[in-house]
Structure 1
């Protein structure tokens, strides 16, 4: 296996989800694996597209096909398919901030909010919100500008999952959010904020498992093209995050 390439096991799990496969409507693509490995290499190494090694072919073709897959939802379908096989015992939610490189800085002047870029204390940033299961697999995600608070994305993400236990830190300690989870039969494990009059009991034996999502984000940021955002468009960066989430989940 080449550096940053897919293992045969990883390829077997995603090859039948790609367009251009044998028996699929349209032409048959002989280099789907090469394209996937080119995208993986680019985001793992954090290099400009034009610096892709020549073994991947013309970088313009790689980028063009990736954008085509983005618009047709190919990468999102792969992520959703792999995320469907998750552990419902308990899940956890959190977010992490990534700095936007100067090459993507133009999105802020041209409607940064719509491109999930915004000004925070770290400068121009994007925030990645994710829900991870007990096995450390991402099952839901979204992108927002860096200054957006965590709680704003909790409701739509949690509507996508149905765990027995939901773990989060104090940033998610909000009455309506907790009450809705309890109505659905989900047990929230969230420490109370210090300014609460009545503190809830927290099962810290379960809460300590939240380190799973922290370790997940640490693995995510080994991909230099994710730890620093180089993509101008939210849609391109989103499919990159979805793609890396999927690959991490099948390692």
Structure 2
């Protein structure tokens, strides 16, 4: 996968200057981004990158640097802001998660010296019967484009990570404060908890979440004490498939469908890169 001319025209002004603080000029940004995208798209080991991408070490070091200093996330956020300013960001979002199997060469372990700042102690890796796994929690707009990601160990529940995902939904605007509140949130029964409904109600966000059968039965058993059933817009809920379609789109990148990166910071940078390709192609 290579950056198209249209994608490059939208992304290039957001990248840092090619002259680093020390030393000579960096290699061309576009060539390096193509190399990183090829690696993430195919799952190819760094040392096996084709020769026309240049030194694999240069591409790997650029990815690490941009992940550590937040460049990748800033570009991603700037593209969201552009879409919002042009009226092309839908504020009805669907939330869900997906499990990613980690490669056997990425076992959980302590954070080592030299790891990126902010690297979680568990590297967002959890143990399961099949080996180490990571879970991607994401929000997606109605055009199957992701404005927010959170990664956790694979055994983490969906509901506890919900507020983290909502906290990552932050789109700067030219005038005034960033927008952080969608109009509605679509989610499946795993998110039907009092805490989540209370969180959305407090922020003035419409919840489109079905109530599981056991919760409905318990409410009926309590009679008047059980309260009224939560409102549910069945027609709006039909759009929840956008998050499943986005997950399918992300997992076309083999380096994201299987986690080969030892640090959560680098894996998250790969997710941001895939999202940058999606948003810059709108």
Q: TM-score, normalised by structure 1?
A: 0.91
Structure-2 residue corresponding to 1:230:
260
Structure 2 Cα separation of the partners of residues 225 and 169 of structure 1: 27
| 1:170 CA drift (Å) | 0.7
Structure 2 Cα separation of the partners of residues 8 and 232 of structure 1: 32
Structure 1 gap segments, 5+ residues each? none
Counterparts of 1:131-146 in structure 2 under 5 Å?
A: 131-146=139-154
Listed one character per residue, the Cα deviations across residues 103-147 of structure 1 (whole Å, up to 9, x for unaligned) are 212xx1336852000013443100011111122221111110000
Structure 2 Cα separation of the partners of residues 122 and 193 of structure 1: 28
CA RMSD of aligned residues (A): 2.0
Structure 2 Cα separation of the partners of residues 125 and 176 of structure 1: 27
Q: TM-score, normalised by structure 2?
A: 0.81
Structure 1 Cα separation of the partners of residues 279 and 96 of structure 2: 17
Structure-2 residue corresponding to 1:117:
125
Structure-2 residue corresponding to 1:70:
67
The equivalent position to 1:214 in structure 2, one of 226, 234, 244, is 244
Structure 1 Cα separation of the partners of residues 185 and 4 of structure 2: 33
Residue 248, structure 1, aligned to residue 256, structure 2: no
Residue 239, structure 1, aligned to residue 236, structure 2: no
Q: Is the 8 A contact 2:66 2:72 kept in 1?
A: yes
Q: Is the 8 A contact 1:35 1:56 kept in 2?
A: yes
Q: Is the 8 A contact 1:20 1:28 kept in 2?
A: no
Structure 1 Cα separation of the partners of residues 12 and 255 of structure 2: 23
Structure 2 Cα separation of the partners of residues 89 and 76 of structure 1: 20
Structure 2 Cα separation of the partners of residues 123 and 204 of structure 1: 38
| 1:181 CA drift (Å) | 1.0
Structure 2 gap segments, 5+ residues each? 112-119, 170-179, 220-228
Structure-1 residue corresponding to 2:116:
none
Residue correspondences, number: 245
